[in-house]
Amino acid sequence: MTLAGWRAGARRRRVRREARALVREARAALRRHGHRIAEAAQGELRGAADDLEKAGQTGDHDALCRGLVRLDDQVDRHVPYARKSTFREYAESIGVAVLIALFLRAFVVEAFKIPSGSMIPTMEVGDHIFVNKFIYGIRIPFTKWKFFDYRKPHRGEVVVFIYPREPDKDFIKRIVAVEGDRVAVRHNQVYVNGKPIHRTPIDAPDCHYLDYEEGDDRWVTHQHCVKFEEELDGARYVTVYDPHRGYQDYPEGGGSCPDGMLDDPTDPGCIVPGGHVFVMGDNRNNSHDSRYWGPVPLENIKGKALIVWWSSGGPDGVRWRRLFKLVD
């Protein structure tokens, strides 16, 4: 098909769409305002609308153009007050778009920005992500009440949640244990129900990562880290440890469990109470998580991290390699 032929076809399709819209507008005006105009005028409008509709059915382009002009003139003469102004049309379109966006944000998908390096390397400072808010149940806006509870969070999933100690803040971490699980950390190895999470060392002699220190407002490169690929309930992800920070056991020194966790008298570790999950950052020695402030109530969880849709920050600027990266 030539360019001229394609343009002619596009014009014909546009005229047909305009004709259908004008017929709907004329008949809606007759239904709502027919009592305000004379019977003769009603007949003219109906006749012009019928003729335009027939022209569209037959595919006669010339008749369609003539009918479009005729019906447009009839509507202008007999029911001009029924026509929407340009301002009203734009206002209604924008209003519908805003309502759809608010609905999606409240119940389906919401965007978040990663402010810290606690989830490196899965998440980097400056990553912008989409979060699935539907999968764990639909939350009533501005409350913690949920309905249509599709399923509960699973081990290995990365979730966004309301920080239990400061409800005005949102955190993002990985779930390592769910209600009823016994969790412990010994020499940086995480144990769930007495079994170590399977992990494989990653040979990375030049392991380092870039982090942002909010207090000093500067980017810092952390050198000499150690990486592992962990597997938990089918989820595979990479964790980072800083050997210079030493071991961070949980519970600390093998002592009693912190607030919100239950002591297990028969085995080392702490039991996650009902209706809660235990979360940790993938940057294990640089994460403020459940090891320090306890488990997260299920009602605090906003959703599951889905995809990185934008990433920028530090000396790299835009990180093109991370765009549209699925969250492990």
In DSSP notation, 266-324 reads: TSSSEEPPTTEEEEE-SBTTS--SHHHH--EEGGGEEEEEEEEEEEB-GGG-B-GGGTT
Within-domain flag for 209: yes
CATH label of the domain that carries residue 54: 1.20.1270.10
Please check whether residues 131 and 11 belong to one and the same domain: no
Question: Active-site residue 118, yes or no?
Answer: yes
Within-domain flag for 7: yes
Name the token pair of 238: 């990479």
Please check whether residues 36 and 157 belong to one and the same domain: no
pLDDT tens digits for 119-157?
A: 999 999 999 999 998 888 777 766 667 667 778 999 999
Question: Active-site residue 287, yes or no?
Answer: no
For 40, the domain range is: 3-82
pLDDT value at 112 more than 60: yes
pLDDT value of residue 68: 83
pLDDT tens digits for 182-198?
A: 999 988 899 999 899 99
Within-domain flag for 41: yes
Residue with tokens 């939350």: 139
Active-site annotation holder among 84, 93, 116, 118:
118
Least confident of 42-56, 157-171, 275-289: 42-56
Average confidence (pLDDT) over 303-320: 91
pLDDT value at 58 more than 80: yes
Please check whether residues 72 and 113 belong to one and the same domain: no
> Which of 55-59, 233-237, 258-262 has the highest mean predicted lDDT (pLDDT)?
233-237
pLDDT value of residue 187: 86
Per DSSP bridges, beta strands 235-241 and 109-113 are unpaired
Average pLDDT, the chain: 85
Please check whether residues 65 and 143 belong to one and the same domain: no
Within-domain flag for 166: yes
pLDDT value of residue 59: 82
175 touches 277 (CB < 8 A): yes
The Cα–Cα gap between 278 and 220 comes to 29
Residue 66 exposed, middle or buried by CB count within 10 Å (0-12, 13-18, 19+): middle
Within-domain flag for 96: no
CA 53 from chain center: how many Å? 43
Please check whether residues 70 and 117 belong to one and the same domain: no
pLDDT value of residue 142: 67
Where a domain ends, among 48, 65, 82? 82
The structural domain count of the chain equals 2
Within-domain flag for 87: no
pLDDT value of residue 222: 81
Active-site annotation holder among 173, 287, 290, 311:
173
Please check whether residues 78 and 116 belong to one and the same domain: no
Residue 34 pLDDT grade (very low, low, confident, very high; cuts 50, 70, 90): confident
pLDDT value at 296 more than 80: yes
Amino acid at 153: P
Compute the chain's Rg from CA coordinates: 31
Please check whether residues 317 and 247 belong to one and the same domain: yes
Please check whether residues 211 and 299 belong to one and the same domain: yes
pLDDT value at 176 more than 70: yes
Of 2 and 262, which is predicted with more confidence? 2
Average confidence (pLDDT) over 162-191: 93
The Cα–Cα gap between 166 and 92 comes to 39
pLDDT value at 27 more than 90: no
Average confidence (pLDDT) over 248-254: 75
Please check whether residues 254 and 178 belong to one and the same domain: yes
Where a domain ends, among 67, 82, 97? 82
Please check whether residues 119 and 72 belong to one and the same domain: no
Within-domain flag for 247: yes
Residue 253 pLDDT grade (very low, low, confident, very high; cuts 50, 70, 90): low
Segments of the chain assigned E as strands: 109-113, 127-132, 138-139, 146-147, 158-162, 170-178, 182-186, 189-192, 195-196, 198-202, 208-213, 218-223, 226-232, 235-241, 262-263, 270-271, 276-280, 296-297, 301-311, 325-326
Of 263 and 72, which is predicted with more confidence? 72
